[in-house]
Amino acid sequence: MQRSHFINLPLHTGHPPAYLVRRMIKLSHAMSKVIVDSHGQLEFLRRLSDPVWFQAFGCVLGFDWHSSGVTTVVTGILKQSLSPDVHGIAIAGGKGARATRAVRDVPAMAESFGLSDAKTAALLRASRMSAKVDSAAVQDGYSLYHHAILFSERGDWAVVQQGMNAQNRMARRYHWISENLSSAGCSGGNGGFASEPHAGIICAQKTEAALDMTAAGSAESQKVCLDLARGNTENLKSSIYRMMMPGGENTLDRWMAGEGGNNNNSNNGIRGLAGYEMPRRLDWDLFREIYDVQPKNYEELLGMRGVGAATVRALALVAELIYGTPASWRDPVKYSFAHGGKDGVPHPVARKTYDQSIQYLQGAIEGAEMERQDRIAALKKLAAFSEQMFPSDDDDDDLPSSSSSR
């Protein structure tokens, strides 16, 4: 019987033991140096923006590969092991309250690199907008509680952040890389942070109905939402009240049940979840402020202070129900398997890509300056991760093993 190989991220509490933390710091410092020296700082950031590589990296360092804690622990370890002088990379943010310290820490770190004011502002915008997108523009039921931004002495950056779902007790990790954004750090253009910006999103399961205003399928909805927000506030208020009026032709309740309104798409009948209902309380002073500012594009609208999940959802619902322009309600998660599954779900196994990831880590381990026993232990961890992804009963058996260290 064929087996599918998931990377689950269950929410776990507690802390790794001190002896393991010390080992992880030493090992991550050495491996990161090999990667940066051999491939450059941007490539190291690219690797961290790959959800599966990040997971494998955490496994090699010695952390339980399937736990949500790998996100917080690996980024926490990197904060202690990465040296701007050695690696040319800094990291800010963290879990809980530490996530908000990025706005204070990034400028100081950027100044130590000699980055210009413009590049520092771009880094701050990247930190703020990535968090805004994953908490407001992507409404998938996972609340952010961890945010870390890594950046190089040239101003390239990567963001790793994680959300939790209180109902299913699972986590979801979001990965970003600066080169994916055509207008990263800029106010112009309608791409960048508002147009499929993620390098990857990893989670064990897909959400039945997740509002994704950054999807390509939401492009027209973005335009209508922007027009609504820039239009007469009283007209918008009237439209929302009309939607919520009992007995009306386009009432929200009938629409969520798939009985009325724009009934020619597959989105109807799946929105009867509390998380996706029309907000019962909206800040109309904020909408008046938006009207006064007249944002140039959806990204600028999303970036305004005070614009959050309620504002985004209300505009999206009005755009579809009143004006017939649906947004995407397809979950944007990109990785629920490691490089695919043997049964072709969600996509066929990209074995070559998988092997390259493993070999990349193997080279970093073998090139690192560490004791032979530590090198062997790390390679065994890597082999164990490989076995989890592709058990030994697979057809081909060309994954690296710990014996390659001898």
The reply to whether the predicted model has a pTM over 0.75 is: yes
Contact 51, 200 (CB under 8 A): yes
Contact 123, 151 (CB under 8 A): yes
Q: How many domains does the chain have?
A: 2
139 and 233 within one domain: no
User: Which of these three, 268, 301, 321, is where a domain ends?
Assistant: 321
User: Which of these three, 294, 321, 348, is where a domain ends?
Assistant: 321
Q: 396 CB contacts (<8 Å, ≥6 apart)?
A: 351
Length of the chain: 406
Select the more confidently predicted residue: 169 or 307: 307
Phi, psi of 84 (to 5 degrees): -55, -35
190 and 290 within one domain: no
Is residue 379 in a domain? Answer: yes
- DSSP E strand boundaries for 225-336: none
Reduce the DSSP state of residue 280 to 3 states and report it: coil
Is residue 251 in a domain? Answer: yes
- Say how far apart CA 198 and CA 201 lie, in whole Å: 7
Q: What percent of the chain has pLDDT over 70?
A: 73
According to the model, what pLDDT value does residue 62 have?
A: 76
Long-range contact set of residues 226-235: C-beta below 8 Å, sequence gap at least 24: 226/295, 226/297, 226/298, 226/301, 228/315, 228/318, 228/319, 229/287, 229/290, 229/291, 229/295, 229/301, 229/315, 230/290, 230/291, 230/294, 230/295, 231/291, 232/291, 233/284, 233/287, 233/288, 233/291
According to the model, what pLDDT value does residue 167 have?
A: 86
Phi, psi of 170 (to 5 degrees): -120, 165
Is residue 254 in a domain? Answer: yes
338 and 311 within one domain: no
Handedness of CA 222, 224, 225, 230 (dihedral sign): positive
95 and 17 within one domain: yes
pLDDT band of 374, cuts 50, 70, 90: confident
121 and 13 within one domain: yes
According to the model, what pLDDT value does residue 66 have?
A: 53
Both tokens of 358, joined, read 């493993």
pLDDT band of 112, cuts 50, 70, 90: very high
Whether the pLDDT of residue 120 is over 60: the answer is yes
393 and 346 within one domain: yes
According to the model, what pLDDT value does residue 254 have?
A: 56
Both tokens of 83, joined, read 């040296």
86 and 46 within one domain: yes
246 and 104 within one domain: no
125 and 72 within one domain: yes
Is residue 326 in a domain? Answer: no
275 and 169 within one domain: no
Average pLDDT value for the chain: 79
Is residue 69 in a domain? Answer: yes
Domain around 63: 1-207+331-406
Centroid of chain to Cα 250: 35
Both tokens of 12, joined, read 């776990």
Q: Of the given ranges (92-101, 174-183, 273-282, 318-327), which has the lowest mean pLDDT? A: 273-282
Both tokens of 122, joined, read 């771009």
| Spatial CA neighbour of 267 closest among 227, 213, 208 | 208
Whether the pLDDT of residue 78 is over 90: the answer is yes
Is residue 222 in a domain? Answer: yes
Is residue 178 in a domain? Answer: yes
Q: For 176-180, what is the mean pLDDT?
A: 93
pLDDT band of 370, cuts 50, 70, 90: confident
146 and 83 within one domain: yes
pLDDT in tens, 254-308: 555 554 444 444 444 444 444 457 887 899 999 999 999 999 999 999 999 999 9
Select the more confidently predicted residue: 100 or 339: 100
User: Which of these three, 321, 346, 362, is where a domain ends?
Assistant: 321
48 and 114 within one domain: yes
Q: For 184-193, what is the mean pLDDT?
A: 52
Whether the pLDDT of residue 396 is over 60: the answer is no
Select the more confidently predicted residue: 387 or 309: 309
Whether the pLDDT of residue 144 is over 60: the answer is yes
Q: Would you tell me how many other CB atoms lie within 10 Å of the CB of residue 61?
A: 25
According to the model, what pLDDT value does residue 366 have?
A: 76
Helix (H) or strand (E) holding 96: none
Whether the pLDDT of residue 403 is over 60: the answer is no
Q: What is the rounded (10 degree) CA torsion for 9, 12, 14, 20?
A: -30
